[in-house]
């Protein structure tokens, strides 16, 4: 089920599933209470760009899509009139549970530029939209780990606010390969810190994690530490997918342990 654990203050509708997983274009339209401003447009575009980078990291692959093939090609402002604006995300190939992530992000914009409704669709004229439901559960909300690799992941059931990630590669990554790994990880970090994986009842902009910029490689092992990790636990599923997404750019990831 695709749903949000938040009682969103604006309506959210999307095209009948699948919307996000077939490599098609997806249109995101927002209607505001007042005439849209330059500042409001910039706020929305910054959040859609955050989602774009998260998708590009492979984090949103979910159970069925290969993380190394999961992405959004581009984001373009289509236009708007008076109180609405539309953006096109091209060649979207992410898990359908990315819909709540995108919908919830706009709570950040809503604080300063009240939103009435949002449509996430396969075309601006789609007349078959369905409502995104809200549920009380806050588990199984966000894209999970790619099924074919999930056996390589161990996540402690008792995580604290200080999280340690240890990654074992098939061989010692070269310097260019380490840079490719860093780019994937830091796209996930930036998006998580902005609010892509909020945990109810906290708002997306409450989300945070501290990262000192250090990727500690010990031959074929990588260690990363995050302090003050205040994101939903399922954000770590996205990190695992981002690490698996380096398949064509770095040695194979053999094991991920998160404590």
User: pLDDT for 37-96, tens place per residue?
Assistant: 889 999 999 999 999 999 999 999 999 999 999 999 999 999 888 899 999 999 999 999
At 6 the pLDDT is 97
Global confidence as pTM: 0.95
Q: What residue spans define the domains of the chain?
A: 11-131, 147-258
Q: 216 — alpha (psi -120 to 50), left (phi > 0) or beta?
A: beta
Would you say the CATH fold of 147-258 matches that of 11-131?
A: yes
Question: pLDDT tens-digit profile of 176-205?
Answer: 999 999 999 999 999 999 999 999 999 999
- Cross-strand pairs, 90: 74
Q: CA geometry: angle at 153 spanning 229 and 20, to 5°?
A: 75
Task: Tell me the residue length of the chain.
Answer: 259
Say which CATH topology domain 147-258 has.
Alpha-Beta Plaits (3.30.70)
What are the structure tokens assigned to 207, written together? 């989300």
Instruction: Cite the DSSP H helix spans in the chain.
Output: 38-56, 98-105, 107-110, 175-194, 235-244
Which fold does the domain 11-131 belong to in CATH?
A: Alpha-Beta Plaits (3.30.70)
């Amino acid at each position: 089920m695709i749903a949000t654990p938040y009682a969103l203050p604006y309506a959210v509708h999307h095209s009948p599933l699948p919307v996000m997983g077939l490599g098609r274009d997806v249109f995101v339209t927002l209607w505001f209470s007042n005439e849209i401003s330059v500042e409001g447009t910039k706020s929305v575009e910054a959040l859609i760009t955050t989602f774009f980078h998260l998708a590009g990291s492979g984090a949103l692959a979910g159970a069925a899509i290969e993380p190394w093939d999961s992405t959004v090609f581009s984001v373009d402002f289509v236009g708007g009139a008076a109180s609405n604006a539309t953006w096109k995300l091209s060649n979207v190939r992410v898990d359908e549970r990315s819909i709540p992530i995108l919908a919830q992000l706009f709570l950040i914009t809503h604080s300063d530029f009240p939103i009435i409704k949002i449509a996430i669709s396969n075309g601006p004229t789609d007349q078959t939209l369905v409502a995104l439901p809200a549920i009380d559960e806050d588990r199984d909300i966000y894209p999970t780990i790619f099924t074919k690799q999930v056996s390589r992941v161990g996540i402690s059931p008792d995580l604290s606010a200080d999280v340690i990630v240890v990654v074992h590669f098939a061989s010692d990554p070269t310097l260019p390969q380490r840079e490719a790994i860093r780019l994937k990880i830091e796209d996930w970090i930036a998006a998580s810190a902005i609010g892509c994986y909020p945990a109810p009842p906290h708002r997306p902009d409450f989300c945070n994690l501290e990262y000192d910029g250090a990727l500690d490689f010990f031959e074929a092992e990588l260690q990363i530490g995050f302090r003050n990790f205040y994101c939903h636990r399922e954000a770590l599923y996205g990190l695992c997918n981002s690490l698996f997404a380096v398949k064509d750019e770095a040695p194979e990831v053999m094991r991920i342990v998160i404590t």
